[in-house]
């Protein structure tokens, strides 16, 4: 049986604890590996190692840190196929989807190569008589990332790439459900020239997370997970005096206007709803066609597309999406579908009880289309995180926009239309952090920042892009004077640097 252990101080580290968890192949239901589960002692070792390594790493020039990241990007490209296969084996997503996962993470690595420019501060000469003023951005120290199962490559890279090039040491606590790719990424960073101890991986569950949050030497924490967990982590980190950003759940809507190209909208919805079995925080899980005629046409177009989707293991080249992550996830998704039907929704395509010959023990849910969903239903309110698309039928555009804005989540949204005025109005008024106009999954590129609104995100700074540099550094402003005489005199009033103003004491 393959074992996945911690990665501390540049080497695989088993630790003293004997606790382990099983890692499944979701397509077969078989145990793929076991993973060591950490505790406070493991976290203590990792933090102590990181704290020592960070001092010399922070002293390295930004150019050197950029070169390490450049080497890492090269190595990631060279190992892409191996990493994608490893990811698909433990997650279940198709190989093409795993490559996309890694590619979007790699792009943040590419953005981070620009750290010599991104860390440049500001300078004002002559801010006052003989006074110059300038700003610096310096590393936080030891940072930590707590990441979910659905993007085991991308989200860790969104965190550790900017954190490390900013001069921090980093501790990653990945999901225990698919831990192998994060360890491999740490090994590639070491191969790229990163000093041992700067990047450590510790596995575990709530016990490990609590130890990270409560450790006095962890200065900043980035978290992605469910909204209840995100809210709890945010509050706990704040109580322990840490900088923190937490990203939670989502319920992403797509408004389809009557003038929208229907085939374009239907194709976009299929890919954005069912890709990766719907296990994406940016999945479009709610279609909002405006008006009954638009809704009837859309549902008709969606039905045939949903029924034709191919579901199976990642080893098959002709698969649109694979299994979900656990058997418990299957049961939860099926339960939400059943509850929607009991509450009055119309089941157009039923993906429950999906069976695949030869993979009867796999964690599969078939593609499901549910019509006549209302905002009061649990299937609408909850983040399903599965291959389920709900259709809600508002009478007009204002009702559709209100539906999006009234939901507790505000991660992403989209509108499909040929009307520039409607698109512009939607972009301005919708209460979500990321907006697509005829784009189903508006995940920003690496040089912009990623983040939602409302209960989809907790904290003032977002992932990657300019916000990531701000999050993983602390600002310092220096006011400097080199007087030409040794005695200047005491100043008792609030300092004013304008040389046209004189404060005189008689």
Show the tokens assigned to 432.
Answer: 């979500």
Q: What is the pLDDT of residue 498?
A: 61
User: For the segment 193-221, what is each residue's pLDDT rounded down to a tens digit?
Assistant: 999 999 999 999 999 999 999 999 999 99
Q: pLDDT, tens digit, for every residue of 232-264?
A: 999 999 999 999 999 999 999 999 999 999 999
% of the chain at pLDDT higher than 70: 97
pLDDT band at 483 (very low <50, low <70, confident <90, very high): confident
16-25, 103-112, 154-163, 364-373: least confident range: 16-25
* The pLDDT of residue 500: 45
If you compute the radius of gyration of the chain from its CA atoms, what whole number of angstroms results?
25
Specify the higher pLDDT residue, 506 or 205: 205
Rounded Cα distance, 151 and 100, in Å? 10
Q: Is a pLDDT exceeding 50 seen at residue 505? A: no
Q: What is the dihedral of CA 103, 107, 109, 114, to 10 degrees?
A: 160
Active site residue: 166, 237, 246, 281, which one?
Answer: 281
What the block records as the tokens of 40 is 């406070």
pLDDT number for residue 136: 96
Residues 136-141, mean pLDDT to the nearest whole number? 98
Q: State the Cα–Cα distance between residues 151 and 141, nearest whole angstrom.
A: 26
Question: How many beta carbons lie within 10 A of that of residue 138, not counting itself?
Answer: 15
- Decide if pLDDT at 370 tops 90: yes
> Chain-wide mean pLDDT for the chain?
95
In this prediction, residue 490 carries a pLDDT of 72
Burial-class residue 85 by CB neighbours within 10 Å (0-12, 13-18, 19+): middle
Tokens standing for 378? 């649990």
Span 453-475, average pLDDT: 97
Structural tokens at position 278: 């719907």
Concerning whether 281 is annotated as a catalytic residue, the answer is: yes
SS (H, E, C) 342-396: HCCCEEEECCCCCCCCCCCCCCCCCCEEEEEECCCCHHHHCCCCCCEEEEECCCC
Q: What are phi and psi of 453, to 5 degrees?
A: -115, 175
| Residue 15: per-residue pLDDT | 73
Confidence of residue 484 (pLDDT cuts 50, 70, 90): confident
E strand intervals along 129-187: 131-139, 142-146, 169-173
Distance CA 29, CA 27 (A): 6
- What is the spatial distance between Cα 321 and Cα 25, in angstroms, rounded to a whole number? 15
Assign 295 a pLDDT band (cuts: 50, 70, 90): very high
pLDDT band at 486 (very low <50, low <70, confident <90, very high): low
Q: What is the pLDDT of residue 495?
A: 73
Whether 200 and 186 have beta carbons less than 8 Å apart is answered as yes
């Amino acid at each position: 049986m393959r074992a996945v252990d911690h990665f501390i101080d540049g080497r695989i580290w088993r630790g003293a604890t004997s606790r382990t968890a099983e890692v499944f192949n979701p397509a077969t239901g078989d145990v793929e590996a076991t993973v060591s589960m950490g505790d406070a002692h493991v976290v203590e070792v990792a933090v102590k190692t990181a704290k020592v390594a960070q001092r010399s790493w922070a002293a390295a020039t930004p150019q050197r840190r950029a070169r390490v990241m450049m080497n890492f990007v090269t190595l990631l490209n060279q190992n892409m196929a191996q990493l994608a296969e490893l990811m698909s084996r433990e997650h279940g997503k198709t190989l093409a989807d795993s490559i996309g996962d890694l590619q979007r993470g790699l792009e943040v690595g590419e953005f981070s190569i620009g750290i010599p420019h991104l860390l440049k501060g500001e300078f004002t000469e002559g801010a006052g008589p003989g006074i110059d003023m300038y700003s610096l951005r310096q590393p936080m120290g030891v940072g930590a990332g707590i990441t979910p199962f659905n993007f085991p490559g991308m989200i860790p890279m969104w965190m550790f790439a900017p954190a490390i090039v900013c001069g921090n040491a980093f501790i990653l606590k990945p999901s225990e459900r698919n831990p192998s790719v994060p360890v491999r990424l740490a090994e590639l960073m070491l191969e790229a020239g990163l000093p041992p101890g700067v990047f450590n991986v510790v596995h575990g569950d709530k016990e490990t997370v609590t130890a990270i949050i409560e450790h006095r030497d962890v200065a900043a924490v980035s978290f992605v997970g469910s909204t209840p967990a995100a809210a709890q982590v945010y509050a706990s980190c704040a109580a322990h005096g840490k900088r923190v950003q937490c990203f939670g759940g989502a319920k992403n809507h797509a408004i389809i206007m009557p003038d929208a190209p229907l085939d374009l909208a239907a194709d976009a919805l299929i890919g954005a709803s069912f890709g990766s079995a719907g296990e994406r925080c940016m999945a479009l899980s709610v279609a909002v066609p405006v008006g009954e005629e638009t809704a009837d046409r859309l549902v008709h177009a969606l039905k045939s597309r949903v029924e034709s989707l191919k579901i199976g293991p990642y080893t098959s080249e002709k698969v649109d999406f694979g299994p979900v992550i656990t058997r418990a996830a299957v049961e939860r998704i099926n339960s939400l579908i059943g509850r929607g039907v009991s509450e009055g929704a119309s089941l157009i395509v039923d993906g429950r009880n999906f069976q695949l010959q030869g993979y009867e023990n796999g964690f599969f849910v078939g593609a499901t289309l549910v019509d006549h969903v209302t905002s009061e239903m649990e299937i609408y309110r909850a983040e399903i995180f599965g291959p389920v698309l709900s259709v809600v039928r508002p009478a007009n555009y204002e009702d559709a926009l209100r539906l999006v804005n009234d939901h507790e989540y505000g991660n992403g949204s989209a509108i499909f239309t040929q009307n520039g005025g409607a698109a512009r109005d939607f972009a301005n008024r919708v209460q979500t952090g990321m907006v697509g106009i005829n784009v189903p999954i508006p995940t920003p590129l690496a040089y912009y920042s990623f983040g939602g609104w409302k209960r989809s995100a907790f904290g003032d700074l977002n992932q990657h892009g300019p916000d990531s540099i701000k999050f993983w550094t602390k600002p310092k402003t220096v006011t400097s004077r080199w007087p030409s005489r040794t005695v200047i005199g005491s100043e008792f009033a609030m300092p004013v640097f304008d040389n046209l103003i004189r404060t005189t004491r008689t």
